[in-house]
Structure 1
């Protein structure tokens, strides 16, 4: 008879699923803040886009 209970064993698939969901929520929160910043001030130059100035 095995004495391993499900609570003491590590489920790798469940861990990967939880990590994926956490990373997905972090990505979603970052995108919400970036979109809110864009909606608040759409004409502010973005830090990712660098355009040469004409002057």
Structure 2
């Protein structure tokens, strides 16, 4: 016989699903802020490329 209190309190699949959704929302929030910064000031935000200066 299976102990119902142990199986109902420990649901590994549900835990993985909740963790995946939380990480997905964190990633989405980070991408929203990065895109907002890029839209606000595209030249300063994309300064990772090292282009030679004209002066």
Tell me the TM-score normalized by structure 2: 0.72
Which has a greater percent of helix? 2
Q: Which structure 2 segments of 5+ residues have no match?
A: none
Higher relative contact order by CA 8 Å / sep ≥ 6: 1 or 2?
2
In structure 2, C-alpha distance between the alignment counterparts of 1:9 and 1:42, rounded to whole Å = 49
Tell me the TM-score normalized by structure 1: 0.72
Q: Which structure 1 segments of 5+ residues have no match?
A: none
> Paired residues, what number?
55
Alpha-carbon shift at residue 11 of structure 1 (Å): 0.2
Describe the SS at the equivalent of 2:6. Answer: coil
